[in-house]
Amino acid sequence: MSTATVRTGPGSLVVVGASLAGLRAVEAARKTGFAGRITLIGDEPHLPYDRPPLSKELLAPGGPTDPVTLRSRAELVDELGVELLLGAPATGLDPDAGVVHAGGEDVAYDALVVATGAAARGLPGTEGLAGVHVLRTLDDARAVRRALDEGARTVVVGAGFIGSEVASAARKRGSPVTIVEALPAPLVRSVGSDLGAALALLHTRNGTALRCGQAVAALEGTGRVEGVRLADDTVIEADLVVVGIGAVPRTDWLAGSGLPVDDGVVCDEFLRAGAPGVYAAGDVVRWHNPLFDRSMRVEHWSSAAEQGARAARNAVSPADAQPYATVPYFWSDWYGSRVQFAGVATHDGYEIVSGDPAGDHFVALYREGDRLTGVLTLNGQRHVMKYRRLIAQRARFDEAIAFARTSAPTRPASTAS
Amino acid sequence: MRIILDRAKCTGIGICEALAPTVFEVDDNGELVVLSAEVPEDARNEVAEAVEGCPTMALRLRS
Ligand SMILES: Cc1cc2nc3c(=O)[nH]c(=O)nc-3n(C[C@H](O)[C@H](O)[C@H](O)COP(=O)(O)OP(=O)(O)OC[C@H]3O[C@@H](n4cnc5c(N)ncnc54)[C@H](O)[C@@H]3O)c2cc1C
Ligand code: SF4
């Protein structure tokens, strides 16, 4: 250091939530040279593992049944010098004292990263009915996999991304599957109704029945599910019901802490949660994204990873804090096709710049006023990151359209490499 | 430094391309093309971020 001033940063970092964001937080803290004590607290008994494969590889016929562990115990404990408190739910936070209550202990912190993620929303009143699952954890994935392997007749409640992946896994086994969606089209909030309907064609083309505009009235069966009764009184027989109707941020344990909570821990652009030394990252955070100048909460892998790292860096060196701005990015795999979305889906209109929404490839660009704000692709892997870059550069919509016209045609006969 | 890509792990998610577009590009088949196997001097940081950012841990660096 060239100046004589020595900044005294925090001496200890506590991270609550031992999954992607939490793991990236402890790694980043060490990478910046933080030498203080680090404690990673998680309520699951498992070492941090990766969630996207839970609805993909782990459900595939003949696929792996063990999760992708993000780091081994030795890497965490010996190399990174992290104290692991697993199987220890945090039950409270006292920001004035700088203490987290977890697993019956009081853990003191100078800096804290809240990374408790989100929990899958269940269907009320179906607890304890065998054969009904959400899909969020390794244990959920193993239970769903077992049922699929037994050839279960499957009903997926909610036509979201995770539910669509479950339907693909059932169809891979040739099992009958129906998706029930309360809204008139799938994915209306994520991609808009037209393009939601376009993606829905993948289901019908692959033999998945889709019932939109249908609420679930009740689940049939005692002890074990036997069917799903819809609002119009039809009953779909089922051995397996997977509920994919979204997730709620896990902020319950922060009750009484005084941290501002509003569908997530409310943070500024530096991921600061409004109490001294407290930051939040991942699915649990609602932060101000400077790139779109709005508050948002996203449940995507790459932002969880990046926010974890950014929150920890800001937490251990607050004097060098940097804002977190991003173009949210998400991918999903359906019936061997890849769906990718970057940005925000706005309602000012969209344009198809490649392919055909009724076919097996398209690229759609979304606008807000005259700005490019989002891109949705189906089997458009070559395109998505180029538009994501334009969105990050705050490109105008007409610039993006011009770019689309000049970029190479979609499926060239040969690719130079 | 050289970039080592484990094709068996890579699923073409493209986060590396987002972070280091001069070095990585996903093609139409979802296959990653490494445009420069040797890490360019001026893209060291981006490549390091891409290696770290890959969700499937498909990228490594070897000196
Ligand atoms: C089945 C599935 C498939 C997905 N597929 C994709 C995909 O294809 N692409 C994509 O971009 N994203 C995908 N995602 C989303 C992505 O996995 C999440 O955005 C990411 O896991 C968020 O990481 P996180 O660390 O913020 O939260 P989480 O992964 O939810 O982790 C939070 C952790 O904190 C723990 N915790 C909660 N409360 C407490 C407490 N009080 N005390 C201690 N510990 C606590 C939880 O048990 C959990 O281990 C998928 C998610 C799921 C569930
Ligand atoms: S980020 Fe990883 S998985 Fe994705 S394209 Fe790059 S190397 Fe492949």
A71: left (phi over 0), alpha (psi -120 to 50) or beta: beta
Asked if the structure places residue A327 within a domain, the reply is no
Tokens of A170: 């059932």
Q: Say yes or no: A286 and A206 in one domain.
A: no
For ligand 1, residues with CB inside 6 Å are: A 16-22, 41-44, 51-52, 54-55, 89-90, 115-118, 135-136, 162, 250, 253, 282-283, 299-301, 304, 330-332
Q: Say yes or no: A222 and A205 in one domain.
A: yes
Asked if the structure places residue A329 within a domain, the reply is no
| Ligand 2 atom nearest to B57, measured from its CA | 2
Strand order in the sheet with A235-237: A216-220, A227-230, A235-237
Express each pLDDT in A349-404 by its tens digit: 999 999 999 999 999 999 999 999 999 999 999 999 999 999 999 999 999 999 99
Question: What pLDDT score does A409 carry?
Answer: 53
- Does position A410 have pLDDT exceeding 60, yes or no? no
As a whole number, mean pLDDT of residues B2-24 equals 92
Question: Per-residue confidence at A280, pLDDT binned at 50, 70, 90?
Answer: very high
Q: Enumerate residues 32 to 51 of chain B having a beta carbon within 8 A of any beta carbon in chain A.
A: 33
Question: What pLDDT score does A127 carry?
Answer: 85
Contact present, A27 and A80 (Cβ < 8 Å):
yes
Determine the Cα–Cα distance for residues A277 and A266; give it in Å rounded to an integer: 14
Q: Say yes or no: A20 and A46 in one domain.
A: yes
Q: Say yes or no: A70 and A128 in one domain.
A: no
Determine the Cα–Cα distance for residues A379 and A376; give it in Å rounded to an integer: 10
Q: Output the domain CATH number for residue A368.
A: 3.30.390.30
Rounded-to-5 percentages of helix, strand, coil across chain A: 25, 30, 40
Question: What pLDDT score does A4 carry?
Answer: 46
Which helix (H) or strand (E) segment holds residue A193: the answer is: helix A193-205
Q: Say yes or no: A252 and A114 in one domain.
A: yes
Tokens of A86: 């697993």
Count the domains in chain A. Answer: 3
Question: What pLDDT score does A253 carry?
Answer: 98
Residue B42 to chain A, least CA–CA distance (Å): 19
Residue A329 to chain B, least CA–CA distance (Å): 9
As a whole number, mean pLDDT of residues B39-53 equals 92
As a whole number, mean pLDDT of residues B43-59 equals 91
Q: Find where tokens 């000012």 sit.
A: A348
- Domain C-terminal end among A320, A345, A362: A320
- Rounded to the nearest angstrom, the distance between the alpha carbon of B26 and the centre of ligand 2 is 8
Q: Output the domain CATH number for residue B20.
A: 3.30.70.20
Asked if the structure places residue A328 within a domain, the reply is no
Which helix (H) or strand (E) segment holds residue A307: the answer is: helix A301-316
Mean pLDDT of chain A, nearest integer:
93
Count the domains in chain B. Answer: 1
Q: What percent of chain A has pLDDT over 90?
A: 90
- Does position A413 have pLDDT exceeding 60, yes or no? no
Residue B28 to chain A, least CA–CA distance (Å): 5
Query: Which of A206, A205, A198, A203 is CA-nearest to residue A352?
Result: A198
Name the residue in chain A with its Cα closest to that of B27.
A382
Express each pLDDT in A205-258 by its tens digit: 999 999 999 999 999 999 999 999 999 999 999 999 999 999 999 999 999 999
- Rounded to the nearest angstrom, the distance between the alpha carbon of A166 and the centre of ligand 1 is 17
Q: Say yes or no: A393 and A302 in one domain.
A: no
Question: What pLDDT score does A412 carry?
Answer: 40
Question: What pLDDT score does A7 carry?
Answer: 55
The dihedrals phi and psi of A117, each to the nearest 5 degrees, come to 65, -150
Contact present, A176 and A153 (Cβ < 8 Å):
yes
Determine the Cα–Cα distance for residues A13 and A25; give it in Å rounded to an integer: 10
Q: Say yes or no: A26 and A168 in one domain.
A: no
Which helix (H) or strand (E) segment holds residue B18: the answer is: helix B15-19
Q: Say yes or no: A295 and A344 in one domain.
A: no
As a whole number, mean pLDDT of residues B44-59 equals 91
Q: Say yes or no: A104 and A127 in one domain.
A: no
Determine the Cα–Cα distance for residues A44 and A56; give it in Å rounded to an integer: 21
User: Which residue range is the domain that position B22 belongs to?
Assistant: 2-62
- The residues near A409 (Cβ < 8 Å, ≥ 6 apart) are none
Contact B26 A381 (CB under 8 A): yes
Q: What percent of chain A has pLDDT over 70?
A: 96
- The residues near A406 (Cβ < 8 Å, ≥ 6 apart) are none
Question: Per-residue confidence at A408, pLDDT binned at 50, 70, 90?
Answer: low
Q: Say yes or no: A83 and A165 in one domain.
A: no
Q: Sort out which chain B residues have CB atoms less than 8 A from A52's CB and list them.
A: 55
Question: What pLDDT score does A329 carry?
Answer: 94
The pTM for the full model equals 0.93
- Domain C-terminal end among A292, A320, A348: A320
Asked if the structure places residue A54 within a domain, the reply is yes
B19: left (phi over 0), alpha (psi -120 to 50) or beta: alpha
Query: Which of A347, A393, A386, A384 is CA-nearest to residue A368?
Result: A347
Contact present, A385 and B26 (Cβ < 8 Å):
yes
Determine the Cα–Cα distance for residues B27 and B24; give it in Å rounded to an integer: 10
Question: What pLDDT score does B28 carry?
Answer: 81
Tokens of A375: 């891109």
Asked if the structure places residue A305 within a domain, the reply is yes
As a whole number, mean pLDDT of residues A115-142 equals 95
Query: Which of A4, A265, A385 is CA-nearest to residue B25?
Result: A385
Q: Output the domain CATH number for residue A207.
A: 3.50.50.60
Q: Say yes or no: A280 and A360 in one domain.
A: no
User: Which residue range is the domain that position A234 belongs to?
Assistant: 122-245
As a whole number, mean pLDDT of residues A187-215 equals 94
Q: Say yes or no: A128 and A19 in one domain.
A: no
